[in-house]
Structure 1
Amino acid sequence: MRKPLLVIASFTAVMLALGGCASSLTGESYSRGEARSVQTVRMGTIVTLRPVRIEGTKTPIGAGAGSIVGGVAGSGVGEGRGSAVAAVIGAVAGGLLGAAAEEGVTRTQGVEITVREDDGSMRAYVQEVQPNQVFRVGERVRILTVDGTSRVAH
């Protein structure tokens, strides 16, 4: 009875760790390499806003962790060949579930911000939604670009 509990606890710990590994896609988040770099700043006016969903990460970590947990859980079923077959089935199912869990845990809500820049060009920017940051159509904003990464800020 303790083995399934251990497997569930291990899987939960791995999924929580995966959530902590996800990089932030907000307009206020900078990578270490971007810090202290010169940025190009352009000004513009928001023309449209549209909610979007930013898909989660799809690394081998989720599938690998799920496979291990599923294989261990499956090996506890039956004896002999039955245990080996259950371990393989558990590993495959665990890998699929682990990959789906990783993508789901790291998926975020985003916003597509279309801006008419002062030079007349229109560009759309997608970034993660932050609870304390609300954009409005007609609002003047800054577009900051460093190393090919752009963000919209108030």
Structure 2
Amino acid sequence: MVSRQALSLRSVAIAVAAALALSGCASGLGGGTYSRGEARRAMVVQFGTIESVRPVQLEGTKSPVGTLSGAAVGGIAGSSVGGNRGSAIGAVLGAVAGGLAGSAIEEGVTRKPGIEVTVQMDNGQYLAVVQEDEGERFMQGERVRILRDAGTTRVTR
């Protein structure tokens, strides 16, 4: 028979996994991914030639989801240590350790590969854009479009 505490811990762990999975899907930073707010908004289009492409790493999200979820799991797990006073101390220590671990897990799970594309614009200037790698396989010498609007720049074909 499974204890109530084990069921509670399992439920929290499932909730943490679901929250982290959803937070990892929340943002698309590639050239072909648009936010809902970008739809039907005019963009400036410029053209250029790719000078270089190099792989980069886009750091993961650092939202309260991972920290709070980890703290909840750690607090529940820590509360099972010791007696009355020991369980309170264990819960606090477990919550702190769980919060740190949850934050690190969220950042690692949501980290994504990216690319830095350096483009020589038709006017002779150089522009470097970092975006999520969506498998475009841009090549040096390839002609591309640069799309810009209020704070967003992307490289596309």
Aligned partners of 1:107 and 1:4: how far apart in 2? 31
| 1:142 aligned residue | 145
Runs of 4 or more above 6 Å deviation: none
| 1:20 aligned residue | 22
Aligned partners of 1:136 and 1:8: how far apart in 2? 48
Report which stretch shifted further, 144-153 or 19-28.
19-28
Alignment of 1:64-75 (within 5 A): 64-75=68-79
Q: What amino acid is the match of 1:30?
A: Y
Q: State the SS of the aligned residue for 1:20.
A: helix
Identity %: 53
Alignment of 1:113-152 (within 5 A): 113-131=117-135, 133-152=136-155
Deviation string, structure 1 residues 129-149 (Cα, Å, up to 9, x no partner): 113x21111110000112120
Say if 2:19 and 2:65, in contact at 8 Å, map to a contact too: no
Unaligned ranges ≥5, structure 1: none
Alignment of 1:31-70 (within 5 A): 31-70=35-74
2:110 aligned with 1:89: no
Say if 2:12 and 2:69, in contact at 8 Å, map to a contact too: no
Deviation string, structure 1 residues 27-85 (Cα, Å, up to 9, x no partner): 11111111000010000000011110000111122111111111011112221111111
Instruction: Report how far residue 19 of structure 1 moved.
Output: 2.9
Unaligned ranges ≥5, structure 2: none
Under a length normalisation based on structure 2, what TM-score does the superposition of the two structures give?
Answer: 0.90
| 1:102 aligned residue | 106
Instruction: Report how far residue 26 of structure 1 moved.
Output: 1.1
Aligned partners of 1:44 and 1:99: how far apart in 2? 40
Say if 1:142 and 1:153, in contact at 8 Å, map to a contact too: yes
Say if 2:12 and 2:72, in contact at 8 Å, map to a contact too: no
Report which stretch shifted further, 114-123 or 77-86.
77-86
